[in-house]
Structure 1
Amino acid sequence: GTALDVDPRYPFYQISRRIEQLQKGEGERINAYLELKTLNSDRLKGRLFIDAPNIGATAPHPVATLLTKHTIENSDLVLVFTDVFESASPMLDELVQLMTAQQDTNKFIYLIDEPLATLSPAKTNEIIASWQRKLGALGLNTGQFIIVANQQNSLNPNNKVDFSEIDQRLANIAYDRSYRVLDSLEKSIRNIEAVVIPEVKKGITLWKERTNISTLIILSFIATLSIFAEIQFGILELLIDPIIGPIILLVLTSIMVPVHIMISRLQAKLIITKLSARQNELHLMENLPALFEKNITIARMLLPISEPAGWNKKMHARVAQLTDKTKDLVQSLNDSFGTYDELPETPAPAAAPVAQKAKPQTSYLDLSKL
C-alpha cells in the first residue's frame, strides 16, 4: 500500500490523504487497504490490474467505497461481473450512480458468467439482450457485454474460454487512454477557474465580512462609551480640539489596527476549518486552506482586496492558454490516426534516386507540449 501511495506513476498516488480526510487516523493504515503484487506473465506485462472487492459480498465500509469509486474514475477499462447487480445494497446504488456519470462506450465491459454447456449463438444473444435491458433500467446504457463461460466444473480441457474480445480491448487501451487523459486534463484546468478560485473567493469574502462586523461591534461599543462620557464629563470639547482631537484619533487608530489584525487572524482560522470541510465535500485534490492562507497578509487584512493572491489577468490568460493547448493536442491525436499525404496525380520525371529519411509516425500523445 505504501508503494502505491508514494509513487506518482500509480493511480493511488497520495490516496492516503483522501483516506485521512474521510476517516481520521485511517490514512496511516494504507497497507490495510491496498496491496501490490506482481504477475510473472509476458501477456500482462506493463499493465496494472486493480482487483476490487465484491461489493455485494462485503459489508459497506467508507474507505472501501472511496477506493472502489477512485478505481472506477481512474481506470482505462473496467471489467464488471454482472452477478454484482443481482443483490441490492446501498454501496451498489452509489456505484451505479458513479458508473452512470462515467459512462463511456470504451470504458466498461460487463462479464456474464454462464455454463459453457448451455451456450449457443441464439442463447448468447438472448442472454446479452436480457442483461442490456436490466442494466438499461438502472441507467447504464453503454458498454460491451461478453459471456465468460464457467470453467470451474468443466472436465474437458478443450473447452477453453475465448478471451480474444478482451485482449482486443486491452490492446486498444493506449488509444482510449490518450483521449481520457486529455479529457481529465481539460476538466482539471476548467475546475481551477470554475470551482477552486470561486471557493477561495467565497472564503475571502466571508472572512472579511466577519472581521469587519467584529471590528464594527467594538467601534460601536467605544462610541457608546463616548456618549456616556459626554453625558457625564462633557468630552466633546476635547474631541473637536485642533490639538487634542487628532491625538485622540491617532491613539484610537493605533489601538484598533492591532485589534482588527488580531480579529482577522482569529476569523481566518475559522475559515480555514470551513474550507477544509468544503474540500472534503467536493473531493478536491487542490488544497483550499493553503490557497486561502496566502491571503492572510497585513495589507490584505487592512485593504478591501477580495481577489485571491496570485489570481490576476496574467494567470487567467495562462489558464486559457492551457485550455487551448489541450484542444490542439486533441486535434494532434486525431491526426495521428490518419495520413493526409496525397500522391501526385502524374508521375514525376525520371531522376537519380535520392535517399530521404521518412518522418516517424507516432500514435501516442506527447504531453510535453504543455
Structure 2
Amino acid sequence: MPSTADAVQQRLKELESHLEQENPVLLSAVQSFRAIDEVAYATGILQANQTFSSQIPWWPLISVLGTFSAGKSTFINHYLGEKLQRTGNQAVDDRFTVVVYSADPISHSLPGVSLDSDPRFPFYQMSRDIAHVDDTQDDGDSSRIDTYLQLKTCHSDRLRGKILIDSPGFDADAQRTTILRLTDHMIDLSDLVLVMFDARHPEPGAMRDTLRHLVRDTINRPDSGKFLYILNQMDSAAGEDNPEDVVAAWLRALGEAGLTAGRFYTIYSPDAATSIPDEHRRARFEKKRDEDLAEIYLRMERVEIERAYRIVAALRKTATDFSEGSMALLQQAKRRWRRRTLITETILVVLLGSAFMAWSLQAGHWHGLVYDPQWLDLFTTVSWGLWGLEGVLAVLLIGGHFTIRRLAALSVMPWLRKQVDKHNPPGDVIGAFQRNTRFWRSVLSGTPSGWGRKSRNTLDEVLQNCENYIQTLNERFTNPRGLPDKPRRAQSATETDSASA
C-alpha cells in the first residue's frame, strides 16, 4: 500500500500530466513548487507527506458573496441553466456550497468532509481552522465541517474546468465568526468574486457592518480587480417613480464604505423577474440587465486567465514567505537558542571557577598570586587514586550541557509560538526548530539544518522564474505590438473533460 508521501507525489504527477496539455506555464509552476518543497523537506519545515502546492486550488475558482436574499442562488441557477440551489426570500442555505462539474446528469450533494480531505478543492483541511474559531468543536474533529460546507455536482457545460462557490448570507447568526473566517479564506483563493446586494432593501445604510466587510476590507487588496459589485433583483425597483434613486442610494452607501471607483452592475434574473407593465420601462430594464449580465458572464468564462496569474502570484508569495518568513523566523529562533545556551554555560563556568577559587583561598592553598604546588601534587594524587573520577566529571559536564541546551530551547518556545501565531509563516516552523535543537545538532551554528547557499539560490531561481512566467502569460494573452495572431490549437473534448475531473 503506497505511503501518504507517495500519494502526494502521485497527485502532483497527475496534475503535471493534465497541465502539460492545458497550460505549460502552470506545469512549470508545479515544478517550481516542487523545488520549494525540496528545500522545505531539507529544513524540516515540511514533512514528506506535505506539499506547498496543495495550499492553492489549481482549477479556476469563482465565489459568489452577499447578504441573505440577495439572489445569489437564483443567479447561479440561471448561469448554470439548472435549478441546483434552493431559492427564497429567507435564508435557504447556511453553508458554503462548492459546485463542480460532473458527467452524471443527476446532481449529487456530498458532505463537507469530501472537501476537507481532498487537496484539489479550496477547503482542504479547513476543519483545523474551523476548530480554531469554533469553540464548540474539538481540534482534529472534522465532523462539524458538514455544518459549514457541502459539495454539489452539476452537469452544466459552463462548469467545465472551473469551480463555483455559493456562500451563505452575512447577516448576524450564531456562526458568524466562522462564516467570516471561511469567507476570507475563500476570497483569498478565488480568481473572481461576485459581491451581490439586494436592490429591494431601500436603506443600505442599515447594512453598514456587512458593507464594511464586503467592501472596505477588499478595496485595498492588491487583487481588488477580481471583485465585481452587483446590485441584484433590480426589477423590484421598476415600480418606483425614479428607480435611479435606488441605484444612487446604494452607490452612496458603497462610497461611504470606501468604494469610490470600479464597475457597479445592476441586474436581475430573467427566470424570477417581477412583471413590468410599462413596455418602454421594461425594455430599458432588460437592455441594461442583458448588457451587465453579458459582461459578468464574460468575466466568468475568462476566469482561467485570472487563474493562471493567481497561481503564479501564489508561487511567488510562497517562495517569499518561506524565505523571508519561515526561514528568517527559524534562523532567529535558533540564534536565540544558541545565545541563551552559551551565555548560561559561560555564567555557570564563571560561577564554578569563582567558587573553586574562593574555596582554595579559604583553604590557604594560594599565597598571594602564587598557587601552592603541594596542593597540586595532593590533588593529582587523589584524582588518580579515585578510579573513574575524571569519567564522572565528564558525564556531569556533558549532562549539564545537554540539560542547558534543552532548557534554553524550551525558553524560546513561547516567543516562537507567539511569532508563528502573529505572522502565520508557511510550514511548521515550530517543528523545524525542535528538529534543529535535538542533541546531535551543534549549538555553535546559527544556520538551520538544510539551509545554505544552495537553498537560497533555489528560491532565488524560483522567484526569477515567476517573472518569466508572468511575461509568458502576458505574451499569450496580450499583443501590445499588434502582431498578427498565431492560430491556437483548439482544446479537445478529452482535455476539456480532464480539466473538470
Report the alpha carbon displacement of residue 45 of structure 1 after superposing the two structures with TM. 4.2
Q: Which moved more, 1:199-208 or 1:53-62?
A: 53-62
Cα distance 1:136–1:155, how it changes in 2: closer, same or farther (>3 A)?
A: closer
1:147 maps to 266
Secondary structure, aligned partner of 1:16: helix
CA distance, structure 2, for counterparts of residue 215 and residue 72 of structure 1: 50
Distance between the aligned counterparts of 2:113 and 2:227, measured in 1?
28
Unpaired segments ≥5 residues, structure 2: 1-111, 199-203, 367-371, 492-501
Q: C-alpha distance in 2, partners of 1:342/1:148? A: 37
Give matches, 1:130-145, under 5 Å: 131-141=250-260, 143-145=262-264
| Deviation of 1:92 (Å) | 6.2
The aligned amino acid for 1:305 is: S
Q: Determine helix, strand or coil for the equivalent of 2:157.
A: coil
* Equivalent residue, structure 1, for 2:208: 88
Contact 1:124 1:147 in 2 (8 A): no
Measured in 1, the distance between the counterparts of 2:213 and 2:391 equals 61
Mapped pair 1:205 → 2:335: yes
Alignment correspondent of 2:408 = 267
Whether the 8 Å contact between 1:69 and 1:95 is mirrored in structure 2 is no
Q: Give per-residue Cα distances to partners, 1:50-101, cap 9 Å, x unaligned.
A: 2223223324644323211101111111111235874233x76455554134
The TM-score with structure 1 as length reference comes to: 0.76
Pairing 1:14–2:125 present: yes
- 2:309 aligned residue: 179
**Aligned AA (2:448):** P
Matching of residue 73 in structure 1 with residue 188 in structure 2 = yes
Q: Distance in 2 between matches of 1:270 and 1:61?
A: 37
Does the 8 Å contact 2:116/2:124 carry over to 1?
yes
Task: Work out which of the residue numbers 29, 35, 52 in structure 1 matches 2:150.
Answer: 35
* Comparing 306-315 and 99-108, the one that deviates more: 99-108
Q: Which secondary structure state, in structure 1, belongs to the residue aligned with residue 267 of structure 2?
A: strand
Q: Which whole-Å CA distance do the structure 2 matches of 1:99 and 1:50 have between them?
A: 18
1:262 corresponds to which letter in structure 2? T
Q: Which amino acid aligns with 1:18?
A: D
1:335 aligns with 2:475: yes
**Contact 2:228 2:263 (8 Å CA) reproduced:** yes
**2:298 is the counterpart of 1:168:** yes
Distance 1:337 1:94, change over 3 A: closer
Task: Please say if residues 103 and 140 of structure 1, whose CA atoms lie closer than 8 Å, have aligned partners that are also in contact.
Answer: no
Query: Could you say if the C-alpha distance between residues 100 and 291 of structure 1 is closer, same or farther in structure 2, counting changes exceeding 3 Å?
Result: farther
Partner amino acid, structure 1, of 2:409: A
**How far apart are residue 156 of structure 1 and its match?**
7.0
Q: Secondary structure at the match of 2:477?
A: coil
| Counterpart AA for 2:422 | E
Counterpart of 2:138 in structure 1 is 25
Aligned twin of 1:353: none
1:168 maps to amino acid = L
Contact (CA 8 Å) 2:341, 2:405: kept in 1 or not? yes
Aligned-residue RMSD, C-alpha: 3.9
Looking at structure 2, the residues matched to 251 and 234 of structure 1 have their Cα atoms a distance apart, in angstroms, of: 27
Q: Secondary structure at the match of 1:9?
A: coil
Q: Is the 8 A contact 1:111 1:147 kept in 2?
A: yes
The 3-state SS of whatever aligns with 2:166 is: coil
Secondary structure of the structure 2 residue equivalent to 1:195: helix
Aligned partner of 1:326 in structure 2 is 466
Higher relative contact order (CA 8 A, sep 6+): 2
Q: Does 1:110 align with 2:229?
A: yes
- 8 A Cα contact 2:319 2:462, kept in partner: yes
8 Å Cα contact 1:268/1:296 also seen in 2? yes
- What is the CA deviation profile of residues 183-235 of structure 1, one whole-angstrom value per residue up to 9, with x for unaligned ones? 12112111122211111122112222332333344334423432442243246
Aligned to 2:421: 280
Deviates more, 1:143-152 or 1:60-69: 143-152
Q: Distance in 2 between matches of 1:186 and 1:147?
A: 36
- The number of equivalent residue pairs is 346
Return the alpha-carbon distance in structure 2 between the equivalents of residues 310 and 46 of structure 1: 39
Q: 1:316 aligned to 2:435?
A: no
Instruction: Give, in angstroms, the shift of residue 141 of structure 1.
Output: 4.6
Q: Is the contact made by 1:79 and 1:110 (CA closer than 8 Å) also made in structure 2?
A: yes
CA contact (8 A) 2:215 2:257 kept: yes
Q: What is the TM-score of this pair, normalised by structure 2?
A: 0.58
**Equivalent residue number for residue 232 of structure 1:** 362
The answer to whether the 8 Å contact 2:326/2:426 transfers is no
- Equivalent AA in structure 2 for residue 312 of structure 1: G
The Cα shift of 1:27 comes to: 4.4
Q: C-alpha separation between the residues in 1 aligned to 2:149 and 2:334? A: 38
Secondary structure at 2:153 match in 1? coil
Q: Is the 8 A contact 1:215 1:263 kept in 2?
A: yes
On the 8 A contact 2:211/2:254 being kept in 1, the answer is: no
Cα deviation code 1:83-130 (max 9, x no counterpart): 5874233x764555541343545411112135416459x967765565
- CA distances 1:134-162 after superposition (whole Å, capped 9, x unpaired): 43443335543211237767257997764
Higher alpha-carbon deviation: 268-277 or 334-343: 334-343
C-alpha displacement of 1:16: 2.7
**C-alpha deviation, 1:132, in angstroms:** 4.4
The answer to whether the Cα contact below 8 Å between 1:79 and 1:108 also exists between their aligned partners in 2 is yes
